[in-house]
Chain A
Amino acid sequence: MTETAAGRRVAGRTASRRTPGRRRGRRWLGLLFLTPAAVLFALFVAYPVEETFRLSLYDWDGLSPTKAYVGLRNFGELFHRDPDFWHTVRNTVLWAAVTVPVTILIGLALALMLDRKLRFRNAYRTAFFVPVVMSAVVIGAVWNWLYDPEFGLVNEAFGRIGLGGNRVWLADPSLALWSAIAANVWRWSGLTMLFYLAALQSIPPDLYQAARVDGASEWAQIRRITLPLLKPMTALLVLLGTIGAFKEFEIIYILTGGGPAHATDLLSTEIFNQGFKLSRSGYAAAISVVLLVGTVLVSLIQLEYLSRKNRELA
């Protein structure tokens, strides 16, 4: 046993000594293995990204063979003359700024409750995770029905506990976006719970034992040990959640279609409106550029923060 291991080590050393000739072949192999992924990525991701930037400088209806070059005029209209645009920016920011912390708090609470020997632990975990598996179309449709002013469960529940059961959740401009955000929080909390559960399991139990010996209460243990050690995971979840929030399209499309009167339109649904309902492809591309640049900027800032947190901990 030890003989073969030693033999292998020697053989490995001789193998690596004669690499110069073979290494070029290996590099060529690396490119070969990468090719199928790279081609597909270039075709259906990289090229459309480049085209989005290019199209944002044109006036185009999406069909005709000719496009009129207009320079930055689309952006001029976007920033200075389109009242709906700033509205959708505000909605998108609000969507991310509310969904992300709330799902993180709920997921954290669920994970802390489930991070112990508990009967039915897996059943609870599965129950909280089921919404993550459902499609946005199904979630949008079901919540549309839950919010129904006449038959919906939400009004019924609010009525029973004396909070008034006659709201038009999705048709009231001041309520519609919040209602959609609530559905979105319900959808994703199980996912943050799952990530926190994994992070909690990687905390060494000795830390808690030592704290208990010192007489620390359960709450003190959570505050002094658990929460600080969960910071890197929280930073990761903020990043993933923000990216996810900027990607959202389907729930709004199904739940409200962006209405009433653009009250729930996100940048993504506005791109769809302009590009495919109003046939203003160039203008839609300009909005896409804003969404792309915004997503990348916010992600980079958070990535920087995330790597700093990881360094601190290491």
Chain B
Amino acid sequence: MAKEEKQDLLQLYRFCFLMVADAAKAQEIFHATLREAAQRAADGDAPGNRLWFFRNARWRCLEAGGRALQAEDVDPQEGELAESAPLQIEKLESQQFAVWISAAPEPQRTALALFYLDEFSYCELLSVTELKPPELSKLLAAGRRQFQAWLDATVPST
């Protein structure tokens, strides 16, 4: 297996984790996705590209439904992005970010998880999320502002 391909698969796990914020569930979905890919490959119908893995895993995450952890409720008012935001983010644990993303409604959850994987081009993002450009733009912009509000509430900048 090519190194890049292996890297893609590790990113697939991270995607699952961001979607469900639960390592065991993420692992289960990851394995199920790879099993299906292996089955298809054995049947001579191997997935045509890496996007298939993320689409498949996405639907499994949505099916998985219930979330073990919930992000803390914050004032729904959205704030402007702060210059100090990177410092606030640095203080977070990955798990906290995953909890926040997994708490977002669909399709914003998928859009944010895929976008922050930093794995896809703009066109690929539109393809996997099945969103139109204005919808994706609106969801990401709102997601940033909501995350900033959540940061301000949970990790106040000093």
Q: Is B truly associated with A? A: no
Could you list which residues of chain B lie within 8 angstroms of chain A, going by C-beta atoms? none
Could you list which residues of chain A lie within 8 angstroms of chain B, going by C-beta atoms? none
